[in-house]
């Protein structure tokens, strides 16, 4: 079988009220190539969004994930498919990790009916229930109690004493101050729910730096009496190993855990934010140079395996071509524009099928819809 | 048999919990304390702490938790001690529950019931007396239900729990202890009432009283008084505020040619306002022999003192007065 | 001069802050970032961090903080990045601000303004597109204001800041960048518009269009089209949704005999529904030559895709169609 | 001048991230008699409420403060009149401490127009702006952000560097889990507001014991990075000294502090709760016997001063008579019942005068009010 590689990353973890996992991971070339490809696909997809937004084929709020790819990728590598995942509006890449396609994401952003959410949701709202992915939620903080409810359900459905599927709720450093998160943590701890409170600390909530929004910048200690773990969120392996550790803990009925991912967003908050008034270009450049999650994996491949620059370049080229093709296919679609698409899926039956309503009032009531 | 509303609601939850392990009850004091108003009495003893769950006083949090549990196909009955406190959680109800089916293009069911007492109680002043019927009824994606009698309470709550969509279920504290008959049919475990359908509580020919919740009783009393005056009033119990049973309203108006809409909540943009608008934009308008009348709560915050409280709420005499105006009045022909 | 709504709002805050040290601005990104939509641009530079305060993303908390500051006679301008997020804080707005004067029997003023964009924007889908006009307008103790043009924006916001009562000030994101003329009078620091008074934007004789916010522009466009068809439409800009200027509506109907109420929000229990009810229960009803028409947002959550978004919102053609129906139609005389 | 008495109460304080104040107080007979009289008046007033409720002259929700009198009394002794105070629905005795009268409170509960709030508020809603008392608020948790706003205003109005009037927001152990409190703490800490978060831990929120509602029962540590102080809330002197210490800290611009008052409510949660299903009679009896705040002061008077049993009995008798007389006067009033009283004070002018509205719709619209 394939040669195993040991990668050490001392200092990647800081624990609060609990043990630090060992700062080391076993991996191999295939795995690293997979992470590389996944993350590079995410990166290209987000850059494509940026371009398309500028070309006005995408509109509304659009929040990009570039810089944070190691988190989505590492979490997915650590979790099982039965585990539930919910996140904020910064969700394109999680949608991808959880069963989505580049075409499905881009088509959605272009408002096409073959978009992943049929053009209903746009950038902020992706779902994939089959893959245990529950959004793509637009209201800051709100996904965290909801995520805790996923954990509640996972516990509810698991026979007492057996390991439970877990739930992870991702949110930002800005969101971390929301009171409903504290309320959820309290209930998760009281009821020992298999819940991971996962803060993607990218240092800013919109234009507000963490020191201006939180009196406590050690986010992993925010659970107070709840154990926490801070991890290097730019290193897919530290994310994966750390998350395995956390998953294990919470799935065993020990109660929730608070995770802080130390990360950075390259783009502005959303497409309307240049992202350079509240932080300077040097800071961004330094991040890209020293902590880029894709470069990290690339370097591992070059240093620890027989992968060559050319091999990686070829993969990049393939990915770029795939994303470009997906973008073309996305563009080739057309937006939903029928009355059926407008009024469908407001109410569902138990099988998830649309239930037409007796009367849906339209702006001109003479055009109102009757079932 | 006669049962109280409290008992009817309790039976509904009990039967549905027995029938479906996915159903659970969560809220403040619902378990060990047996419910602040004892509506969940006995459920904790019967179903245990897995399925009957006391929460901290954190409405936003537990409403969100219930919603998330519903995303995963559980069927939460989320009790608010009163709907006044649901304001803290209203973002979860509207944004995390009501809109999700649509936003996910049908990927996600949210089979949840949010229930608890709504509107005025007795002597609890402004912060504890608000009616949220119109707010919730405005939101597509929600169903909104308001029972009046025991059959409503049982049949509609069972239907709400079984419904695969989010339902806001508005009870009335002052009715919890009131007894109503429960027919043989309604005693069955299979008894459900359809959501979205109004019910004619009393047939009549001269005027229609459209209303919901506690005011159904007031309208029945008014109809009694009116009968003595020779006026035959039809009382339409809406039961559902969303979907609103437009056809029932329209058909009744076509029969009686007069309409009085009655509610306890504040007037502006209330349910009665919507009923005026529904009539305006349907052919029922042409059947009207008088303008639609509203009888509503006064446009003031609820005061504590009894006389002020009484002045703030519709009384039977207000309903009778409104009916009298509609029956006395003739439309000015225009043509 | 012509100024954008953004500038007009900015001027209003600037002037009031200059005139009164008790006025301060608090909200997310209002200071260093200059406002998510740049409405507070320059205020931080001019007034510093004591009076222009960036908050964490904790609406419930900072709405409460602003309310408490108002209890102590400060005059907070509490910005919500959009009113969708104010749902998290609505308990503070309604229970801690609106009801307090009454609950304290007049002991407590709460001179606060809650402001921000409300309703549909462009391409932001269901959670970011809700109109809260009717919810807030239902609550006694609040004043609710919705400006359309630059004079409205400046004059009403200044009045709202000076008002000793809690005011919900509903802006429209899509209008921020639109320019409108600002008269000499309106450029003055003393310019305020009265709260509770509607404004006739265009006089007419055949039909009244009652509306607010962005839809005023649509109604003016419709009036233009209708004029070409020989129909003279009066456009009434409500400006205030609470108190609602009933007299202005009633008087206009008495003049034109026809009424179309237009709003962007969901239909059920909306502002247009209330307008139907107001007409039903005033003598204006007798002047109607056709039933009141509503033109409203579609009864669906807001979708992202452009065609669906457009279908969800009233268009000028919908207004014209409604007017055509009212002008074609004659009331069936009854008598 | 009067002889000073030193009272020690070792163990009354536990600090989190800060110094414990010395567990000792200087006092004298006059002061102790005053506390005794105040607390006994509170106690009698609450017992009168209980009786009157049973006699049906009081209705609605009615939450009594007996058992917790040392907190209201000790806090008032430590604060200055410029300090702002806000509390929950359990507010009768704070209303008394802040400028109210027994008659005003009882008349309000009886819904009389000469009640402190004119019959508008009832049991849960007292205010006295002149005395810097801002309710009497009915929604659990909501008074805490509002109280933080009082602190914000106090800071706003104080020249930089000068000591600030403080604000205190009182809330229960049940309320302590509300997220908006955490949100307020965060902002108070970020902005160094002179705010005291004061948890009256009476061990139960309605029928729920603290261990079932909070994952952290050390309430004074709930601020996490914010200093906290737990104090014996049944000892008026420990409350007073502790609060002086806290007041001093927060008023100097050091930021907020979290206070936990260890206390107990003798009555059920409200009049509809017998208060004996979720806790047993022994527990209540033991509290009354060993920690009663009034007995505590009585014993101090008897042990450390020349006060005699008879003297104290005489005071008790006087207080009982005063409360009874106040109750009679309260009853003698009549409830508001005019339209003017119904529709007044919904909107105020800048002087706090009622502004009549153009139109107030009544249930029967023909009876609607026009200005
Ligand atoms: C309740 C609420 N308030 C405000 C907003 C507007 N908003 C969207 S994202 C955002 C910043 C969030 O920052 P953070 O939590 O750090 O996440 P990041 O965007 O950095 O991933 C804000 C203020 C919102 N969507 N919801
Ligand atoms: C938001 C909200 N939820 C629920 C209630 C109902 N309620 C009133 S008091 C109370 C218990 C509060 O307990 P605690 O905070 O410990 O204060 P205590 O009554 O012990 O003084 C509850 C659940 C409310 N008033 N507000
Ligand atoms: Mg961030
Ligand atoms: Mg308590």
Q: What is the DSSP string of A229-274?
A: EEEETT-HHHHHHHHHHHHHHHHTTS--EEEEEE---SS-SSTT--
pLDDT at position B330 is 60
**D61 CB within 8 Å of a chain C CB:** no
My answer on whether B159 and B258 are in the same domain is: no
**B54 CB within 8 Å of a chain A CB:** no
- Closest approach of chain D CAs to the CA of C48, in angstroms? 12
CA dist A213 and C58 (Å) reads: 10
- Averaged pLDDT for residues B20-48: 98
Of the candidates B187, B215, B243, which is a domain's last residue?
Answer: B187
Condensed to tens digits (0 to 9), the pLDDT of residues C211-257 reads: 999 999 999 999 999 999 999 999 999 999 999 999 999 999 999 99
Tracing tokens 């603290």 back to the chain, one arrives at D210
Find out whether the peptide bond into C97 is cis, omega within 30 degrees of 0: no
pLDDT at position C298 is 98
> Does the Cβ of D138 fall within 6 Å of ligand 2?
yes
Q: Is residue C153 part of a domain?
A: yes
List CB contacts (< 8 A) between C165 and chain D. Answer: 347-348
Tokens for D228?
């906290």
Of the candidates B152, B187, B222, which is a domain's last residue?
Answer: B187
List CB contacts (< 8 A) between A148 and chain B. Answer: 61, 64-65, 68
Closest ligand 1 atom to residue C127 Cα is 25
Residue B328 pLDDT class (50, 70, 90 cuts): confident
Residue D42 reports pLDDT greater than 70: yes
CA dist C174 and C316 (Å) reads: 16
Tracing tokens 């339409």 back to the chain, one arrives at B236
Domain that holds residue C266: 199-327
Residue D47 pLDDT class (50, 70, 90 cuts): very high
My answer on whether C87 and C180 are in the same domain is: yes
My answer on whether B147 and B272 are in the same domain is: no
A289 phi and psi, to 5 degrees? Answer: -75, -40
- Give whole-number Cα distances, C173 to A7, C116, C137, C176, C242, in Å: 50, 8, 20, 5, 21
pLDDT at position D71 is 98
CA dist A94 and A89 (Å) reads: 10
* Full-model pTM: 0.98
Best substitution site from A89, A172, A275 to test ligand 1's pocket, by max atoms within 8 Å of Cβ? A172
Cβ neighbours of residue A283 closer than 8 Å, sequence gap 6 or more: none
CB contact under 8 A, B277 and C281: no
Condensed to tens digits (0 to 9), the pLDDT of residues C34-53 reads: 999 999 999 999 999 999 99
CATH code: domain A4-335 is 3.40.50.970
CA dist A138 and C85 (Å) reads: 10
Cα B139 versus chain centre, distance: 15
**Catalytic-labelled residue, pool C128, C171, C293, C309:** C128
Q: Is residue C12 part of a domain?
A: yes
Condensed to tens digits (0 to 9), the pLDDT of residues B211-264 reads: 999 999 999 999 999 999 999 999 999 999 999 999 999 999 999 999 999 999
Q: CA nearest D361: which of B122, B121, B298, B81? A: B298
Between the CA of D236 and the centroid of ligand 2 the distance, in Å, is: 25
End-to-end CA separation in angstroms for chain B = 55
Residue B334 pLDDT class (50, 70, 90 cuts): very low
My answer on whether B303 and B224 are in the same domain is: yes
Of the candidates B159, B187, B215, which is a domain's last residue?
Answer: B187
| D198 DSSP 8-state letter | E
B73-92 residues touching A, CB cutoff 8 A: 73-74, 91-92
Q: Three-state secondary structure along chain B?
A: CEEEHHHHHHHHHHHHHHHCCCEEEEECCCCCCCCCCCCCCCHHHHHHHHHEEECCCCHHHHHHHHHHHHHCCCEEEEECCCCCHHHHHHHHHHHHHHCHHHHCCCCCCCCCEEEEECCCCCCCCHHHCCCCHHHHHCCCCCEEECCCCHHHHHHHHHHHHHCCCCEEEEECHHHCCCEEECCHHHHCCCCCCCCCCCEEEECCCCEEEEECCCHHHHHHHHHHHHHHCCCCEEEEECCEEECECHHHHHHHHHHHCCEEEECCCCCCCCHHHHHHHHHHCCHHHHHCCCCCEEECCCCCCCCCCHHHHHHHCCCHHHHHHHHHHHHHCCCCCCC
Tokens for A124?
């902020």
My answer on whether C150 and C272 are in the same domain is: no
**For position B136, which CATH number holds?**
3.40.50.970
- Averaged pLDDT for residues C192-203: 98
Cα C307 versus chain centre, distance: 26
My answer on whether B127 and B274 are in the same domain is: no
- Averaged pLDDT for residues B27-52: 98
Tokens for B327?
């029956």
CA dist D267 and A346 (Å) reads: 49
Known catalytic membership, residue C59: yes
- Closest approach of chain A CAs to the CA of C282, in angstroms? 24
Q: Is residue B193 part of a domain?
A: no
Segment (H or E) for D145: helix D143-157
Please, which chains are in contact with C (at least 3 CB pairs closer than 8 A)?
A: A, B, D
- The domain ranges of chain D are 5-336, 338-371
Contact D249, D29 (CB under 8 A): no
CA dist A82 and A100 (Å) reads: 16
- Averaged pLDDT for residues B99-122: 98
Residue C333 pLDDT class (50, 70, 90 cuts): very low
List CB contacts (< 8 A) between C108 and chain B. Answer: none
**C61 CB within 8 Å of a chain A CB:** yes
Residue B3 reports pLDDT greater than 90: yes
CA dist B39 and B7 (Å) reads: 7
CA dist D187 and D183 (Å) reads: 6
List CB contacts (< 8 A) between C297 and chain B. Answer: none
End-to-end CA separation in angstroms for chain D = 61
Q: CA nearest A334: which of C305, C16, C124, B122? A: C305
Contact B77, B13 (CB under 8 A): yes
CB contact under 8 A, A145 and B102: no
Q: Mark the ranges of chain A whose per-residue pLDDT is less than 70.
A: none
Best substitution site from D269, D270, D272, D273 to test ligand 2's pocket, by max atoms within 8 Å of Cβ? D269
CA dist A285 and A291 (Å) reads: 10
**Residue A305 exposure: Cα atoms within 13 Å on the Cβ side:** 23
- Averaged pLDDT for residues B133-137: 98
Please state, rounded to an integer, the average pLDDT across all residues of chain D. Answer: 97
Provide the Cα torsion C277, C281, C284, C289; round to 10°.
Answer: 60
My answer on whether C209 and C97 are in the same domain is: no
- Averaged pLDDT for residues D291-309: 97
Share of residues in chain C with pLDDT > 90 (%)? 98
**For position C317, which CATH number holds?**
3.40.50.920
- Averaged pLDDT for residues D73-84: 98
> Does the Cβ of D93 fall within 6 Å of ligand 2?
no
Tracing tokens 């990728």 back to the chain, one arrives at A73
Burial (CB < 10 A; 0-12, 13-18, 19+), residue A321, is: exposed
CA dist D132 and D123 (Å) reads: 19
Find out whether the peptide bond into D136 is cis, omega within 30 degrees of 0: yes
My answer on whether C27 and C149 are in the same domain is: yes
My answer on whether C137 and C278 are in the same domain is: no
CB contact under 8 A, C57 and A140: yes
Condensed to tens digits (0 to 9), the pLDDT of residues C217-226 reads: 999 999 999 9
Query: Regarding beta strands C23-27 and C75-79, do their DSSP bridges make them parallel or antiparallel, or are they unpaired?
Result: parallel
Cα A87 versus chain centre, distance: 6
Helical residues (DSSP H) of chain C, grouped into ranges: 5-19, 43-51, 59-71, 90-91, 100-103, 133-137, 150-162, 184-187, 214-228, 246-256, 271-280, 306-312, 316-328
Known catalytic membership, residue C128: yes
Q: CA nearest B155: which of B203, B195, B111, B117? A: B195
Query: Regarding beta strands C233-237 and C75-79, do their DSSP bridges make them parallel or antiparallel, or are they unpaired?
Result: unpaired
Provide the Cα torsion B154, B159, B165, B166; round to 10°.
Answer: 0
Total tally of structural domains belonging to chain B: 2
pLDDT at position C330 is 60
Contact B216, B202 (CB under 8 A): no
My answer on whether B181 and B221 are in the same domain is: no
CA dist B271 and C11 (Å) reads: 39
- Averaged pLDDT for residues D163-168: 98
Q: How many other CB atoms are found less than 10 A from the CB of residue B30?
A: 25
- Of the CATH numbers 3.40.50.970, 3.40.50.800, 3.40.47.10, 1.10.3080.10, which one belongs to the domain with range D5-336? 3.40.50.970
The bound ligand whose nearest atom lies closest to the alpha carbon of B37 is 2
My answer on whether C153 and C24 are in the same domain is: yes
**Facing D365 at nearest CB: one of B294, B297, B300:** B294
Please state, rounded to an integer, the average pLDDT across all residues of chain A. Answer: 97
My answer on whether C124 and C216 are in the same domain is: no
Contact A63, A139 (CB under 8 A): no
Q: Angle, to 10 degrees, between the axis of helix C59-71 and the axis of helix D179-190?
A: 70
């Amino acid at each position: 079988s394939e040669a195993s590689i040991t990668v050490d990353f001392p200092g990647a973890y800081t624990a609060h009220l609990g043990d630090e996992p060992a700062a080391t991971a076993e991996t191999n070339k295939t795995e690293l190539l997979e992470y590389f490809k996944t993350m590079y696909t995410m990166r290209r997809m987000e850059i494509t969004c940026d371009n398309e937004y500028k070309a006005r084929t995408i509109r509304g709020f659009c929040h990009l994930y570039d810089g944070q790819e190691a988190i989505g990728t590492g979490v997915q590598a650590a979790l099982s498919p039965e585990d539930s995942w919910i996140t904020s509006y910064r969700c394109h890449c999680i949608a991808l990790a959880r069963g989505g396609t580049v075409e499905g994401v881009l088509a959605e952003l272009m408002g096409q009916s073959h978009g992943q959410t049929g053009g209903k949701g746009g950038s902020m709202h992706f779902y994939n229930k089959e893959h245990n992915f529950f959004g793509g939620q637009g209201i800051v903080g709100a996904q965290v109690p909801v995520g805790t409810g996923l954990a509640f359900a996972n516990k509810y459905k698991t026979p007492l004493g057996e390991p439970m599927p877990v739930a992870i709720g991702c949110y930002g450093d800005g969101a971390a101050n929301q009171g409903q998160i504290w309320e959820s943590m309290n209930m998760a701890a009281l009821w020992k729910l298999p819940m991971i409170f996962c803060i993607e600390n990218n240092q800013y909530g919109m234009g507000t730096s963490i020191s201006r929004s939180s009196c406590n910048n050690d986010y992993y200690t925010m659970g107070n009496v709840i154990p926490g773990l801070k991890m290097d969120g730019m290193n897919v392996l530290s994310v994966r190993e750390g998350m395995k550790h956390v998953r294990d803990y919470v799935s065993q009925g020990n109660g929730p855990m608070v995770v802080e991912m130390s990360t950075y967003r390259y783009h502005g908050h959303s497409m309307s934010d240049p992202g350079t008034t509240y932080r300077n270009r040097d800071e961004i450049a330094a991040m890209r140079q020293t902590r880029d999650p894709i470069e990290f994996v690339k370097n591992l491949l070059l240093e620890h395996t027989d992968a060559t620059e050319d091999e990686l370049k070829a993969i990049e080229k393939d990915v770029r071509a795939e994303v470009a093709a997906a973008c073309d296919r996305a563009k080739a679609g057309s937006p939903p524009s029928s009355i059926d698409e407008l009024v469908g899926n407001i109410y569902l039956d138990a099988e998830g099928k649309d239930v037409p309503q007796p009367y849906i009032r339209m702006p001109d009531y003479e055009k109102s819809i009757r079932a | 048999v006669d049962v109280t509303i409290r008992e009817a609601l309790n039976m509904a939850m009990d039967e549905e919990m027995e029938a479906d392990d996915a159903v659970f009850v969560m809220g403040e004091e619902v378990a060990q304390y047996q419910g602040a108003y004892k509506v969940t009495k006995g459920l904790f003893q019967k179903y245990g702490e897995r399925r009957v769950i006391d929460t901290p006083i954190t409405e936003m949090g537990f409403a969100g938790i219930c919603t998330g549990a519903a995303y995963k196909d559980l069927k939460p009955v989320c009790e608010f001690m009163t709907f006044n406190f649901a304001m803290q959680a209203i973002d979860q109800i509207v944004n995390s529950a009501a809109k999700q089916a649509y936003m996910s293009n049908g990927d996600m069911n949210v089979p949840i019931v949010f229930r608890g007492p709504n509107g005025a109680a007795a002597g609890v002043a402004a912060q504890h007396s608000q009616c949220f019927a119109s707010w919730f009824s405005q939101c597509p994606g929600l169903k909104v239900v308001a029972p009046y009698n025991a059959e409503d309470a049982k049949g509609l709550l069972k239907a709400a729990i079984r419904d695969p969509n989010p339902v806001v279920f508005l009870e009335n504290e002052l009715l919890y202890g009131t007894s109503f008959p429960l027919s043989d049919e309604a005693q069955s475990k299979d008894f459900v009432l359809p959501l979205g359908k109004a019910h004619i509580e009393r047939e009549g020919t001269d005027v229609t009283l459209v209303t919901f919740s506690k005011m159904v009783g007031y309208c029945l009393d008014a109809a009694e008084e009116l009968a003595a005056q020779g006026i035959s009033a039809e009382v339409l119990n809406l039961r559902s505020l969303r979907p609103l049973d437009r056809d029932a309203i329209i058909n009744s108006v076509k029969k009686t040619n007069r309409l009085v809409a009655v509610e306890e909540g504040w007037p502006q943009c209330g349910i009665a306002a919507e009923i005026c608008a529904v009539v305006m934009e349907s052919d029922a308008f042409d059947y009207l022999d008088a303008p639609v009348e509203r009888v509503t709560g006064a446009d003031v915050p609820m005061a504590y003192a009894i006389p002020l409280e009484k002045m703030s709420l519709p009384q039977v005499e207000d309903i009778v007065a409104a009916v009298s105006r509609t029956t006395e009045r003739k439309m000015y022909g225009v043509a």
